Chains A and B, each alone.
Chain A
Amino acid sequence: MMKSIKYLLISLLAVGFVTRSYACVPDCYAPGGYFMYRVCEPKSQSENIDYVNPSSTPNCLEWQKLTSINIPAEDIYQVVYTMSLEEFEAIYDNRDATYDNKFVEWITKRDTAILDFLLLAKTNEEIRFHINSRWYYPSMKVGARMTLEEIAEKALSMKDKRLRDRYLLQAVRALFSLSRYKECVELWEQEAIYLPEDNLMKDLIIDYIAGAMYHVGDSQKSNEYFAQRGDAYSILYCTGRRGERLSSTQALALVCEYAPNSPGIPQELYRIIHAEEQKEENGYDIDENELSMLYELSLEMSENSKVENRAMWYYTAAFLADFMGKESVASRLLRSAENAKSSPYIDESIRLFRIYIDAKTLPYNNEYENRLYSQLKWLDRKIVDNIDDEVRTKVVEESNLFTCESFYYWNDMLRRILLAEVCPRMIRAGRPVRALQLANMADNYLYNIINCMELSYYDYEANKLHRELLTMEQYRYSSCEDNYLDYSNRFFAMIDTLGVDVAKAYLDNVNHSTKAFDKYLNARGYTGSDYLNDIVGTQLLRHMQYGEAIKYLGNVSVAYKNHSNVYMEYEPFEAEPARIYRTKDFKYDFACTMHSLEQSIELTTNPNRKAQLMVKYAMGLRNSFDWCWGLTQYFNGSSFWFVFKDWDCEGNSLKQAALARSRKIIDEALQMVTDDEVAAALQYNMCNFKTVAKKYPDTEYGRLVKGACDNLKDYHAETYYSNE
């Protein structure tokens, strides 16, 4: 999608006026919007059958393991979840037939034990479906081949180890439906409880056991089991509070009361807080009442001696305190979290949150920089160690870091902490170079590690989409695609706005720093000499410091100039847009010409010659901010696509000064001319045809204008391009 938008925008740019910049692509979110709260891995949608992606439904994957990985999960899903009992019975009775569904083929030909099991399970479900209907009344016929009693008996008699856990679930379901609760509890205590913790069937059995325990009168145990499953409403039912409505936090509090260490608690905490984070990011009102209740619950649980992971609750309280704007309280609570009983997973979250809270609360001095250095080294390690194929693929194929879409937690956090918190404070603290280094790391570190980018473009000659994997270096020097990456990120936005002196200081730091933290940061950003020299050189052109610009632009290699982010199609010294062949060295050439003109103007004493040089210089100056704006800018306008609104580009403010200066130089030049032929030629070159005809009628250009006024568009050009 992002690529589509990018291509659309680039296409729109392609119909632009003169010099074009492809530096910018949409940036959809602010770095401060990355979600930070972390007490568990977000529950995959695949665990919820409602969001069916058959290939990733855990039960289907389990069936795949039991049969063959060559059987598509979709085939398994179709049989297990969507096939009716009637359809399945038809297969059961015609097992010699050939079926398109590979799972059916497998269980009818190679593993009939599964066929038998599924018939039992489907019959069980069919009967239960009927009897769970409000219309059901005992003795109503349900049209199944077995009764629930027979199903329970058969399920309990099956000893096939592979399917034992599945038969146990069926037995429990049947017994529960028969109201034989005591037998359910016995089955649990004698066998099912010993299934491995991560056993999918055990997870499903426990819900029935909780209900069975309630029916046999063990309410305490029943509520504990319900709580372990995060089922607050069943607890309400069992405690005589049926019909009460609870907020998410009230439900969580109920769960905590009966099972303070329920494995479902982190997920629920994550769900509640993440929902509020999303609301804030999307500009909706957060539910302050709910958050306050959750904050109180977190404080209560963090002091509860029955809680095994008290650090998680302190961390949650700290997070909520910060979320509600109480940073110092958050810092204090985080300290408690750091000292409380925890788990390695929560320890990491706490450590990360400490980096964030420090960034928000500590004074920005050398001591903090040392602390930050050490903190970044830890975060750096987390980023490197946790990269997996999914992250790698996303970076390579989607390259959507610049949109601030979340896809890799540790790198998201690096970006959130540095870009949203540290960099702005560093700039305010008078450390803009450090801010640039940090922003560069936030933007580029992941690309540096992955060092791969997919280049895709449509090859019209071959009539196909071309895909190619490139290293970052190859990508940056490729002429096939515009390098939107380096000209749309936060670092670029920052270096383009902090001023040319900061940009120069940053480049100097990159080239000469000997300090460990500088070296560390510079090594993790993208500090290509061509890239940075081009930026500094361009800014110097913007500041009309042509002599110095030559130095920097001269350092930009020819190879880098091949990239076409900004290119020139018009002659920069003409009064009107005059198309020229594209030139790779246009910035450098322009700097040299302008610098040469400056020197010649200085040296020339002949007023007519001097005036001619001055007018050419003034034209170049004006055009470099006008239709040749690519000489001084990477984009034209006051917004950096969608995110950087009211972009305070120096080009915008400097443009007015440059145009004023250009007019002043022309005025001075015209005043110093002593030769009418020279004056007429200058006016003619500036398209001031009316002036030529009126003031210099007897000159060569005067006669030309008078004799060809039609061709000169009735002097209209004077309205548009005249400097008078």
Chain B
Amino acid sequence: MKRIITNVLILLAVAAIVVGCAHKSESPSAQGDDVAYAKHNSVYYWKTTFALDSTEQTFLQRHQIDRIYLRMFDVAVEHNYNTQAAEVVPIATTKFISSIPAGVEIVPVTYITIEALRLMRGKENEYAQLIVERLLAMCSYNECGAIEELQIDCDWTQTTESSYFILCDCVKQLLQKRGIALSVTIRLHQLCGEVPPVDRGVLMLYNTGTLKKYETRNSILDIKDVKIYVKFMQYGLPLDYAYPAFGWGVKFMKEEFVSIVSEQDTVSQAGEYIRKERPTYAEIVAVKKYVESHLGKPASGNILYHLDYSQLNNYTDDEINQILAY
């Protein structure tokens, strides 16, 4: 018992030092924004069941992670058998098993499929209300605490941009009444387009390459892919940065994509090839350095994608701290 307490104390001491490190390099973001944002270490939670095991709870504490970007549901298109029409509906709603850890801010996130976005055209205001109402109802029902930010994740393109921006605008107006900020995810390619009418963005620095392409070296993160978009870039929104902390295998048969598999999977027949993808700490930090040198420091902090200890334990505490540090 005495030994356990001693270990915990040592851990806490180490954590305190690490957190101290994480916060020491405070500097304004490079987006030319004078607003000073509260600083956070954040993590995405991207599963359909919110159930934190003890290792994950400890991980949050150990790294002073005080904000979780929690996916609540996806918005997709489904065929309604009664009306025989396609309709935009929420799917894969997250089920809450664990309660929200004390002192952790929840940012509810919804992922909107491109098909759903297309079907929303002309009815963006209606869906904005539904999305906001449902996200906030989920937060309230599951006691997520005071909500300060809400996030929309969508891989919008040029053809869907106008509809998406209308949707964002409607959502933003609804949230303003409640004193809640709206953020959106920004994919690298979206840096080149118009800036969405939201309060801030999260630049996704993962899934940067083409997953299904045989020649891709690492679809999760490759600095070459990042440089194409980030070089000389300025962006009109305060940005935080989301870095990957996961890996997987990408299976090919005769150079044709088959599926995503576990990193541990092995080839079982001739012609098969599994590309093992896991960004190393060095790769992540190199990207981080490059991005910050061009786009500036994050507005409020860095985010890990995502909270899954089986993935996170591939990185040391120090590495995690260095990724989160700003």
Does chain A bind chain B?
yes
Q: A140-B133, A140-B134 are in contact. Are A135 and B140 (CB under 8 A)?
A: no
A/B pair count, beta carbons within 8 Å: 22
Instruction: Give the complex CA separation of A134 and B87 in angstroms.
Output: 10
B-facing mask of A118-141, CB < 8 A → 1, else 0?
Answer: 000000000000000011111110
Shortest Cβ distance from A137 into B: residue: B137
Instruction: Give the complex CA separation of A678 and B190 in angstroms.
Output: 112
Q: What chain A residues lie within 8 Å of B166 (beta carbons)?
A: none
Q: What chain A residues lie within 8 Å of B140 (beta carbons)?
A: 139
A-facing mask of B77-97, CB < 8 A → 1, else 0?
Answer: 000000000010110010000
Do B134 and A138 touch across chains, with their CB atoms under 8 A apart?
no
From the candidates B89, B137, B141, name the one contacting A134 in the complex (CB within 8 A).
B89
Q: What chain A residues lie within 8 Å of B141 (beta carbons)?
A: 137-139
Shortest Cβ distance from A233 into B: residue: B81
CB distance from A234 to the nearest CB of B (A): 14
Q: What chain B residues lie within 8 Å of A138 (beta carbons)?
A: 137, 141
Q: What chain A residues lie within 8 Å of B134 (beta carbons)?
A: 135-137, 140
Q: Nearest 6 A-B pairs (CB), nearest first?
A: A139-B141, A134-B89, A140-B137, A137-B137, A135-B130, A139-B137
Q: What chain A residues lie within 8 Å of B90 (beta carbons)?
A: 134-135
Shortest Cβ distance from B78 into A: residue: A134
Q: What chain B residues lie within 8 Å of A136 (beta carbons)?
A: 134
Residues of B bordering A, CB below 8 Å? 87, 89-90, 93, 130, 133-134, 137-138, 140-141
Q: What chain B residues lie within 8 Å of A140 (beta carbons)?
A: 133-134, 137
CB distance from A128 to the nearest CB of B (A): 15
Q: What chain B residues lie within 8 Å of A135 (beta carbons)?
A: 89-90, 130, 133-134
B interface SS class:
helix
Instruction: Give the complex CA separation of A135 and B131 in angstroms.
Output: 8
Instruction: Give the complex CA separation of A94 and B69 in angstroms.
Output: 49
Shortest Cβ distance from B141 into A: residue: A139
CB distance from A127 to the nearest CB of B (A): 15
Instruction: Give the complex CA separation of A135 and B130 in angstroms.
Output: 7
Instruction: Give the complex CA separation of A136 and B90 in angstroms.
Output: 9
Q: What chain B residues lie within 8 Å of A137 (beta carbons)?
A: 93, 134, 137-138, 141
Instruction: Give the complex CA separation of A136 and B138 in angstroms.
Output: 10
Shortest Cβ distance from B140 into A: residue: A139
Instruction: Give the complex CA separation of A134 and B133 in angstroms.
Output: 13
CB distance from A683 to the nearest CB of B (A): 80
CB distance from A132 to the nearest CB of B (A): 11
* 15 A-B pairs with C-beta separation under 8 A: A134-B87, A134-B90, A135-B89, A135-B130, A135-B133, A135-B134, A136-B134, A137-B93, A137-B137, A137-B141, A138-B137, A138-B141, A139-B137, A139-B140, A139-B141
CB distance from A241 to the nearest CB of B (A): 16
Shortest Cβ distance from B131 into A: residue: A135
CB distance from B178 to the nearest CB of A (A): 14
Instruction: Give the complex CA separation of A136 and B93 in angstroms.
Output: 11
Instruction: Give the complex CA separation of A52 and B141 in angstroms.
Output: 41
Q: What chain B residues lie within 8 Å of A139 (beta carbons)?
A: 137, 140-141
Shortest Cβ distance from B139 into A: residue: A139
Shortest Cβ distance from B91 into A: residue: A134
CB distance from A23 to the nearest CB of B (A): 50
Instruction: Give the complex CA separation of A140 and B141 in angstroms.
Output: 9
CB distance from A48 to the nearest CB of B (A): 15
Shortest Cβ distance from B80 into A: residue: A134
Q: What chain B residues lie within 8 Å of A134 (beta carbons)?
A: 87, 89-90
Instruction: Give the complex CA separation of A323 and B302 in angstroms.
Output: 75
Shortest Cβ distance from A139 into B: residue: B141
Instruction: Give the complex CA separation of A138 and B142 in angstroms.
Output: 10
Instruction: Give the complex CA separation of A139 and B140 in angstroms.
Output: 7
- Please provide the chain A residues from 130 to 161 with a CB less than 8 Å away from any CB of chain B in the complex: 134-140
Instruction: Give the complex CA separation of A140 and B132 in angstroms.
Output: 11
Q: What chain A residues lie within 8 Å of B138 (beta carbons)?
A: 137
CB distance from B13 to the nearest CB of A (A): 42
Instruction: Give the complex CA separation of A260 and B137 in angstroms.
Output: 46
New A-B pairs, 15, CB < 8 Å, besides A135-B130, A136-B134, A137-B137:
A134-B87, A134-B89, A134-B90, A135-B89, A135-B90, A135-B133, A137-B93, A137-B134, A137-B138, A138-B141, A139-B140, A139-B141, A140-B133, A140-B134, A140-B137
CB distance from A50 to the nearest CB of B (A): 12
Q: What chain A residues lie within 8 Å of B89 (beta carbons)?
A: 134-135
Q: What chain A residues lie within 8 Å of B93 (beta carbons)?
A: 137
CB distance from B73 to the nearest CB of A (A): 9
CB distance from A178 to the nearest CB of B (A): 15
Instruction: Give the complex CA separation of A445 and B93 in angstroms.
Output: 69
Shortest Cβ distance from B75 into A: residue: A135
CB distance from A232 to the nearest CB of B (A): 14
CB distance from A49 to the nearest CB of B (A): 14
CB distance from B290 to the nearest CB of A (A): 41
Instruction: Give the complex CA separation of A135 and B128 in angstroms.
Output: 12
CB distance from A198 to the nearest CB of B (A): 28
Shortest Cβ distance from B129 into A: residue: A135
Q: What chain A residues lie within 8 Å of B137 (beta carbons)?
A: 137-140
Instruction: Give the complex CA separation of A691 and B106 in angstroms.
Output: 117
Shortest Cβ distance from B72 into A: residue: A137
Instruction: Give the complex CA separation of A367 and B174 in angstroms.
Output: 88
CB distance from A575 to the nearest CB of B (A): 71
Q: What chain A residues lie within 8 Å of B87 (beta carbons)?
A: 134
Instruction: Give the complex CA separation of A501 and B141 in angstroms.
Output: 93
CB distance from A387 to the nearest CB of B (A): 42
CB distance from A349 to the nearest CB of B (A): 35
CB distance from B87 to the nearest CB of A (A): 8
- Please provide the chain A residues from 546 to 583 with a CB less than 8 Å away from any CB of chain B in the complex: none
Q: What chain A residues lie within 8 Å of B133 (beta carbons)?
A: 135, 140
Instruction: Give the complex CA separation of A138 and B89 in angstroms.
Output: 16
Instruction: Give the complex CA separation of A137 and B93 in angstroms.
Output: 10
CB distance from A618 to the nearest CB of B (A): 73
Instruction: Give the complex CA separation of A402 and B93 in angstroms.
Output: 63
CB distance from B110 to the nearest CB of A (A): 12
Instruction: Give the complex CA separation of A409 and B228 in angstroms.
Output: 80
Which of A134, A136, A137 is most buried by chain B, counting CB atoms within 10 A of its CB?
A: A137
CB distance from B48 to the nearest CB of A (A): 15
CB distance from B177 to the nearest CB of A (A): 15
Instruction: Give the complex CA separation of A701 and B220 in angstroms.
Output: 117
Instruction: Give the complex CA separation of A246 and B133 in angstroms.
Output: 38
CB distance from B235 to the nearest CB of A (A): 33
Instruction: Give the complex CA separation of A134 and B89 in angstroms.
Output: 6
- Please provide the chain A residues from 247 to 301 with a CB less than 8 Å away from any CB of chain B in the complex: none
Q: What chain A residues lie within 8 Å of B130 (beta carbons)?
A: 135
CB distance from B275 to the nearest CB of A (A): 35
Instruction: Give the complex CA separation of A139 and B130 in angstroms.
Output: 13
CB distance from A131 to the nearest CB of B (A): 11
Instruction: Give the complex CA separation of A138 and B95 in angstroms.
Output: 12
CB distance from A102 to the nearest CB of B (A): 34
CB distance from B86 to the nearest CB of A (A): 13
Instruction: Give the complex CA separation of A138 and B133 in angstroms.
Output: 11
CB distance from B265 to the nearest CB of A (A): 30
- Please provide the chain A residues from 676 to 703 with a CB less than 8 Å away from any CB of chain B in the complex: none
Instruction: Give the complex CA separation of A137 and B137 in angstroms.
Output: 6
Instruction: Give the complex CA separation of A583 and B73 in angstroms.
Output: 90
Instruction: Give the complex CA separation of A135 and B74 in angstroms.
Output: 11
CB distance from A448 to the nearest CB of B (A): 50
Instruction: Give the complex CA separation of A135 and B89 in angstroms.
Output: 7
CB distance from A140 to the nearest CB of B (A): 4
Instruction: Give the complex CA separation of A36 and B93 in angstroms.
Output: 53
Instruction: Give the complex CA separation of A63 and B72 in angstroms.
Output: 46
Instruction: Give the complex CA separation of A550 and B89 in angstroms.
Output: 86
Instruction: Give the complex CA separation of A135 and B132 in angstroms.
Output: 11
Instruction: Give the complex CA separation of A136 and B130 in angstroms.
Output: 9
Shortest Cβ distance from A140 into B: residue: B137
CB distance from B112 to the nearest CB of A (A): 14
Instruction: Give the complex CA separation of A137 and B130 in angstroms.
Output: 10
Instruction: Give the complex CA separation of A138 and B96 in angstroms.
Output: 13
Instruction: Give the complex CA separation of A140 and B140 in angstroms.
Output: 9
Instruction: Give the complex CA separation of A140 and B89 in angstroms.
Output: 16
Instruction: Give the complex CA separation of A705 and B138 in angstroms.
Output: 110
B-facing mask of A165-192, CB < 8 A → 1, else 0?
Answer: 0000000000000000000000000000
